[in-house]
Structure 1
């Protein structure tokens, strides 16, 4: 003979993972982004046998939603059986719901939302809030799971959002002067607006270039360029003898730049590079190292303050020999990045 206790035990043995309501709530000062409404005279709402109060529609992620509050718990058909929410009524001879929790549900309003294609679904991260007046915080379970809404499942919520005893106790701060507030925040997950694929190159070829710049003291142009071909791409070193931006007037600036005509559309080169000004006496070179994407929108990278002009011109430092300086670059194209 199967007893009511056996039925409860069986249901409990097949329980889902730990429900959100068994986890601690966390508070924050910022209000929910998409919906917030107050209920005054909450006790009158629950005493009036109102099973469900639904907010006005609001927009989030391009869709229309409503928030439903069940003052004495949801009695939705098909809800997962939870023995803790039921008691055995001896007079009726059956299990009845205790009605000792507040339930909160989010509803996707399909008829009011934008046109939805056949087989549509909306995936979203949903957080439901209750305001704590004493702490001045909006409290939620901070759930990061993605909830799936579709034709047969247009709502999601927390049946045991908060037990009525805790909620109704003024010392807890959720119901003050018979007033409370609930809210919702929804992050609709949409396909990425841009996708990138990085293809690393096995054993990338070391590339290098050396540029001897003569007659430094006579350099009267803002910048000088030296073009070269390396790794099937066109490059150039760009040199500012009197510096650029924050280096202007106090340093020399040196950059590596790629010729956009040598790169396929929607392609970036992932490069590791060293730019150097050689110390021609002691070998104590001045250099900068970086990892960088080179593309049609990011052609150039380097250093605006590679060497102080005073240091470069100091004959004991070895950067100028016979009024000439030597620039070098060593780099590898480590991978290709393609965008869709």
Structure 2
């Protein structure tokens, strides 16, 4: 197997943390016997991380072929059992950290540089030839080798393409869309729950106004509620409409309208948006305020479809 870029210890000092590596740990007892054995390195059993199988190899006296003498070398191997296991042209990108345990301080030390490693057919191994110098490792005051035992570990965070990718297509100079609804017999319909306007076309899409004369949710019994709703049958699948909207109840005397302004992504999952407490019932029923004339109120919406959000 080919090895990846080997980064010397002197370039990046190690850092410790209390939390153990989340993917793999293994303990070596009688480390001195492993160092004296004829085997050049010890390779762990396979373990899973990020949907792939890996092994961790430790060179107790260093990987001499990679100038790792007088050091411990550590390598992570991506297991590719056969060419059919991966699609043609496959690649795996992962953030990798290799660890050694400090028994005295109860900390796991690694370089923690958050480097992204690129694994592919010609490079299925990445490691550090000079992971730790043997003098420091064997010094009992450093805590890495206690009673001839040591612990190594690995974390591998595979970077996968996002499953949810969107793009926003803005509309150049979107037209201002307008709808007016005169709601008659307000007092006679005060105790019904919800009224829906006629369907109206705006921006090539169908819309409704939803009016709750006695309020909705937190506005129930204390305010009027008004919402804009898109007809979901009029929008393409997997599409959201990015909308800037004003909803209002008109003051028919002084022009001091009650209104709310918002931005919302209208879609089949979220077709409705508006205000639950647009205007207090006490205010709309006050004849001096001008919101009711001949028991009728005027509801309006002005909005622009600023853009379309679609899946890539």
TM-score category (smaller protein): 0.7 to 0.9
Do the aligned residues in 2 keep the contact of 1:21 with 1:161 (CA within 8 Å)? Answer: no
Question: Distance in 2 between the 1:249 and 1:299 partners?
Answer: 24
1:33-72 pair list within 5 angstroms:
33-48=22-37, 50-72=39-61
- SS of the equivalent of 2:137 reads helix
User: What is the CA-CA distance between 1:215 and the residue it aligns to?
Assistant: 2.2
**Are positions 1:131 and 2:120 aligned together?**
no
Structure 2 distance, partners of 1:323, 1:166, is 88
The correspondence for 1:147, drawn from 105, 108, 117, is 117
Task: Name the CA shift for 1:131/1:307 in 2 (closer, same or farther; >3 Å).
Answer: farther
C-alpha deviation, 1:137, in angstroms: 3.8
Within 2, Cα distance between the matches of 1:17 and 1:38?
24
Shift of 1:57: 0.4
User: Counterparts of 2:17 and 2:283 in 1: how far apart (Å)?
Assistant: 54
Count of residue pairs brought into register by the alignment: 306
CA deviations over 1:228-251 (Å, ceiling 9, x no partner): 211111111111222223333333
Q: Which moved more, 1:267-276 or 1:38-47?
A: 38-47
Q: 2:78, 2:124 within 8 Å by CA — same for their partners in 1? A: yes
| Alpha-carbon spacing, 1:166–1:234, altered in 2? closer, same or farther (3 Å) | same
Q: How many angstroms apart in 1 are the aligned matches of 2:104 and 2:296?
A: 74
2:250 paired residue number:
278
1:242-321 residue pairs with structure 2 within 5 A? Answer: 242-321=214-293
Encode CA deviations 1:184-221: one digit per residue, 9 max, x unaligned.
22222333334322211111111122222222222232
The residue that corresponds to 1:225 in the other structure is 196
In the TM superposition, residue 66 of structure 1 has moved relative to its aligned partner by 0.5
Deviation at 1:48, TM superposition (A): 3.8
Residues in 2 aligned to 1:28 and 1:225: alpha-carbon distance in whole angstroms: 60
Q: 1:179, 1:197 → 2: CA distance? A: 54
Aligned partners of 1:241 and 1:330: how far apart in 2? 20
Structure 1: 5+ residue runs without aligned partners? 1-15, 80-84, 86-96
Asked if 1:104 corresponds to 2:109, the answer is: no
Task: Say if 1:312 and 1:21 are closer, same or farther in 2 by CA, change over 3 A.
Answer: farther
Q: Identify the match of residue 176 of structure 2 among 167, 191, 206.
A: 206
Q: Is the 8 A contact 2:8 2:131 kept in 1?
A: no
Q: 1:29 to 1:274 in 2, by over 3 A?
A: farther
The 1:56/1:209 distance shift into structure 2, 3 A limit, reads same
Q: d(CA) in 1 for partners of 2:84 and 2:282?
A: 65
Q: Per the alignment, do residues 75 and 327 of structure 1 end up closer, same or farther by CA in structure 2, a change over 3 Å counting? A: farther
State the SS of the aligned residue for 1:144: coil
Question: TM-score, normalised to structure 2's length?
Answer: 0.84
Distance 1:284 1:179 in 2: 80
Aligned-partner Cα distance in 1 for 2:40–2:223: 75
SS at match of 1:117: coil
3-state secondary structure, aligned to 2:22: coil
Q: Which residue of 2 aligns with 1:73?
A: 62
What SS does the aligned partner of 1:246 have? helix
- Equivalent position SS for 2:34: helix
The question of whether the paired residues in 2 share the 8 Å contact of 1:50 and 1:71 is answered with no
